[in-house]
């Protein structure tokens, strides 16, 4: 009869609190990866999110402003865009605090600028999920 192994293999546990990691990753893009010792990945995330955000600001893209006006689809777009803007973390908070807010004008550059601002936030959301999975030990 073959011997049954009773050896328990310990999976590597998280090195940092996943919640602290995600909060840091939201506030300062790439900070979650820095806390986890993934410095190169943290630098790439920081540079990518910051460059996309700065391009959006330099193109004078407006921030999305959630409002209760309009039909359901318009409100959904406004709230979704606002969440995308807010997901950039500290760059968005600083820009809003310092009074950045060009008027929403129907120009190509403003339209592209708002897309850059939202895409910066969405890239940061992906980085936050990545940091969460690394902190939980689900990913290397």
Q: What is the pLDDT of residue 105?
A: 72
Q: What is the pLDDT of residue 70?
A: 78
Q: What is the pLDDT of residue 92?
A: 95
Mean pLDDT by runs of 10 across the 140 residues of the chain is: 54 67 95 94 96 94 83 88 94 93 75 93 96 89
Give this prediction's pTM: 0.82
Q: What is the pLDDT of residue 3?
A: 60
Q: What is the pLDDT of residue 2?
A: 61
Q: What is the pLDDT of residue 35?
A: 93
- How many beta carbons lie within 10 A of that of residue 104, not counting itself? 14
Q: Are 30 and 127 in contact (CB under 8 A)?
A: yes
Contacts 24+ apart (CB under 8 A), 35-38: 35/131, 36/131, 36/134, 36/135, 38/134
Q: What is the pLDDT of residue 5?
A: 55
- Distance CA(86)–CA(93), nearest Å, equals 8
């Amino acid at each position: 009869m073959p011997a049954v192994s009773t050896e328990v293999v310990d999976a590597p546990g998280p090195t940092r609190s996943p919640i602290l990691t995600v909060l840091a990753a939201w506030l300062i893009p790439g900070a979650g990866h820095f806390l986890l010792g993934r410095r190169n990945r943290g630098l790439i995330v920081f540079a990518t999110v910051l460059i996309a955000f700065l391009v959006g600001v330099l193109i004078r893209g407006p921030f999305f402003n959630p409002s209760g006006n309009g039909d359901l689809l318009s409100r959904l777009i406004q709230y979704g865009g606002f969440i995308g803007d807010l997901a950039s973390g500290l760059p968005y908070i600083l820009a809003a605090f310092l009074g950045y807010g060009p008027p929403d004008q129907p120009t190509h550059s403003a339209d592209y600028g708002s897309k850059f601002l939202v895409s910066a936030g969405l890239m940061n959301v992906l980085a936050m999920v990545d940091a969460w999975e690394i902190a939980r030990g689900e990913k290397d």
